Amino acid sequence: MAAEPIEYPVICAKDDQDLLDHCDVHVVDPERVAAVRARLVSPVIAEQMAGVFKVLADQSRCRLMAAIIEAGELCVCDLAATVDMSESNVSHHLRVLRANGLVRARRAGKMVFYSPDDAHIRVLLDITREHVEHGPENPSGVAVGAAAATSEEGGSA
């Protein structure tokens, strides 16, 4: 007769808010682990995702992407004026963005216009901006960024 599988309870707690990075005891829930693994991105996809974030990790490229998204399409000259950078510097960053599939270029005569490669990049940047502006929550549950902005305006958090 086969032995019945052992059910492991999920026991994980910490009293100190600063020590939430690991459990007090090591108990694995095999069913939950298997379910998450089945939906987890592959290492290849994770590497590609990290590549996108690496490209966007540069402040100048984030601002260029935001400007292109807001305008829909801009030439190098207009982008340089919009983000207050040299055309040479803008061109350098646009090459990186284009090489990583975040923008596409369209030539019209002597001018080159840049636009987002697809709508996904707008969603990614919109969500990132919302996350940054929302800010982390403090232990009271109030967003730190929101509390700071409210107190700067003379209101209460």
Note the pLDDT tens digit of each residue in 18-44: 556 766 767 788 899 999 999 999 999
In a domain, 46, yes or no: no
In a domain, 21, yes or no: no
In a domain, 141, yes or no: no
Structure confidence at residue 86 (pLDDT): 96
We report the CATH number of the domain holding residue 76 as 1.10.10.10
How far apart CA 116 and CA 64 sit, in angstroms, is: 10
Chain-centre distance of CA 48, in angstroms?
13
How far apart CA 109 and CA 65 sit, in angstroms, is: 23
Residues composing the chain = 157
In the chain, the percentage of residues whose pLDDT exceeds 70 is 71
In the chain, the percentage of residues whose pLDDT exceeds 90 is 63
User: What is the per-residue pLDDT across 39-52, written as a single tens digit (0 to 9) for each?
Assistant: 999 999 999 999 99
| Residue that wins the pLDDT comparison between 148 and 38 | 38
In a domain, 111, yes or no: yes
In a domain, 82, yes or no: yes
In a domain, 101, yes or no: yes
Q: What's the predicted TM-score (pTM) here?
A: 0.68
In a domain, 2, yes or no: no
In Å, what is the CA distance from 81 to each residue of 58, 64, 70, 86, 88?
19, 11, 14, 8, 12
Number of domains forming the structure of the chain: 1
Helix-strand-coil split of the chain, %, nearest 5: 55, 10, 35
Structure confidence at residue 59 (pLDDT): 95
In the structure, what pLDDT confidence band is assigned to residue 136 with cuts at 50, 70 and 90? confident
The mean pLDDT value for 74-92 works out to 96
The mean pLDDT value for 76-84 works out to 96
The domain in which residue 95 lies consists of 60-121
